[in-house]
Amino acid sequence: MRTKDEQWSLVVNLFGDNGYRSTSMRDIARTLDLSEAHVHALLGSKEDMLWHIVSRVARLFLSQARTVPRSISPAEQLHLLIYRHLELVSQDKDYVLVFLRDWTLLDDIHRQEVQSMRETYDAYFYRVIDAGVKEGIFNVPDTLLACLFVLSALQWTHQWFTASDALTFVQLVDQYSAFILRALCSDYTLPLDGAMAYLYHQGDQTEQGG
């Protein structure tokens, strides 16, 4: 008997490969080697499964954004928002794919709930960019347009973002973040010492806790 996590991974892979609409309960049951009734008892309806996947990713994105401290500069905060976003993409790429592609297929109530979470997530980026504009760090004529630019740059990273190890991940994030900061900053060579110190401090705490 597969674990619940293994079952969910297989369902996510099915939705990712075939699309939510093209995946039937029979397909899911066959993949899990269970009867349709057993699948329904374990994981719920197909609609329940989509809600589980989408809401999980939406909450994870919000959790990632909440880890960014406000005590560092707007440029550093934006770097960390990008870092945390790509960290989740790297760790849960299949889940992120289903979230981004299929969340609009939810029923009205759940779709509105996810839309609210997405707007809350977007607001983290807007607040940081707006603060950077007011401090003269970001040089953009329209804060909302700049926010949409950054979010669009992150939107489809799951299609190509692959890191083979921690060093490669950091290098990719640093380069991608530099592209974005260069587009927004009047001085894109701004130091990111505060952001780096925060990340290394978090890493030290994780090692000590383990």
Can you give the residue ranges of every domain in the chain? 1-44, 55-209
Check if CATH label 3.20.80.10 holds for domain 55-209: no
Q: Which residues of the chain fall short of a pLDDT of 50?
A: none
Predicted local distance difference test score (pLDDT) of residue 2: 85
Predicted local distance difference test score (pLDDT) of residue 169: 87
Half-sphere exposure of 113 (CA within 13 A, CB side): 13
CATH of segment(s) 1-44: 1.10.10.60
Predicted local distance difference test score (pLDDT) of residue 190: 53
Give residue-wise pLDDT tens across range 37-96. Answer: 999 999 999 999 999 999 999 999 999 999 999 999 999 999 999 999 999 999 999 999
- The pTM score is 0.84
Predicted local distance difference test score (pLDDT) of residue 204: 58
Q: Is there a common fold for 1-44 and 55-209?
A: no
Predicted local distance difference test score (pLDDT) of residue 159: 87
73 — phi, psi (to 5°)? -65, 160
For residues 55 and 40, give the distance between their C-alpha atoms in angstroms, rounded to a whole number: 19
Long-range contacts of 157-160 (CB under 8 A, 24+ apart): 157/85, 157/86, 157/89, 158/89, 158/93, 158/96, 158/97, 158/100
Kindly give the interhelix angle for 93-102 and 46-66, rounded to the nearest 10 degrees.
110
Residue with tokens 């973002």: 161
* CA distance between the termini of the chain: 30
